[in-house]
Amino acid sequence: MNLIFNFALFHIGWLACVVGAATQMSLLGSTIAVLLIAVHLFRVANFRAELYLVLAAIIIGFLWETLLLSQQWLAYAGVSLGSNLAPYWLVIMWALFATTINVSMAWMKNRWLLAVVMGAIFGPMAFIAGEKLGAVEFLDNQRALIALSCGWAILMPLILWVAEKINGFSQIEGETQ
C-alpha cells in the first residue's frame, strides 16, 4: 500500500473525527473514519492480521481514554462530565491509528527508544490540536499533558510490539504480510 495514501487516509479520518466531535456531528465524522478503515483493510495483503491489530488498538485505546476521563484531567466533546467511558469517536480514532502501524509508521518498528520519544512528543501534540479544534478540553492542563506524554511514551511502543506479535503469529499460520 502506498505510504502517502495511508498517511493521507489517516489524517483525513483523524480530522473527520475531531471536527465531527467538535461540531456535534461525531456520527458523521466516525462514519467517514470507519469507511477509511475499511478501505485500508481491503487493500492490505493480510486482512486478518491487520483486523486483529485494529481490534487490539480499539481495546487499548478504550482502556487508556477511559482512564484519562476517570481522572478528570480532560473532557471530550459530546461526553458529559462525570462520564468515564471513552467516546466512540475517539475509540474509532484508535482503530484508524492502527491502520498506520504496518504501513506509514512501519519504519519505527524495532526502534523502541525512538517510539518512546515520538509517542511522548506527538501524542500530546495531537491532543493539543484536538483542543484547538474543540474536540477536547484540558480540565487540568499540566496533569493532562504529563499523563498524555507519559502514556504515549508507553502506548506507542506497545502498539508497535502488539503489531509485531500479531504479524509474527500470522506468518506462523502461513499468511503473508
Any idea where the domains of the chain sit in the sequence? 3-172
Cβ pair 108, 115 in contact under 8 A: yes
pLDDT number for residue 173: 53
Cell numbers representing residue 96 in the block? 484508524
Rounded distance, CA 78 to CA 75, Å? Answer: 9
- φ/ψ of residue 136, rounded to 5: -140, 150
Q: Where are the beta strands (DSSP E) in 53-156?
A: 74-76, 136-138
Is the model more confident about 23 or about 170?
23
Among candidates 82, 89, 175, 81, which has minimal Cα distance to 130?
89
pLDDT number for residue 78: 79
Q: Tell me the whole-structure pTM to 2 decimals.
A: 0.91
Report the DSSP pairing between strands 136-138 and 74-76: antiparallel
**Mind listing the pLDDT tens digit for each residue in 62-82?**
999 999 999 989 999 877 666
Is the model more confident about 173 or about 160?
160
pLDDT number for residue 177: 44
**Mind listing the pLDDT tens digit for each residue in 16-72?**
999 999 999 999 999 999 999 999 999 998 899 999 999 999 999 999 999 999 998
- Per-residue pLDDT band for 2 (boundaries 50, 70, 90) equals confident
Q: Please give the single-letter amino acid code of residue 69.
A: L
Alpha carbon of 102 to those of 44, 51, 106, 121, 158: distances in Å? 10, 12, 5, 21, 14
Q: Which residues of 26-54 are buried (b: 16+ CB within 10 A; e: fewer)?
A: beebbbbbbebbeebeebbebeebbbbbb
Q: What angle do CA 148, 152, 154 make, to 5 degrees?
A: 130
**Mind listing the pLDDT tens digit for each residue in 89-139?**
999 999 999 999 999 999 999 999 999 999 999 999 999 999 999 999 999
* Helical pair 141-172 and 112-133, crossing angle rounded to 10 deg: 130
Rounded distance, CA 152 to CA 22, Å? Answer: 23
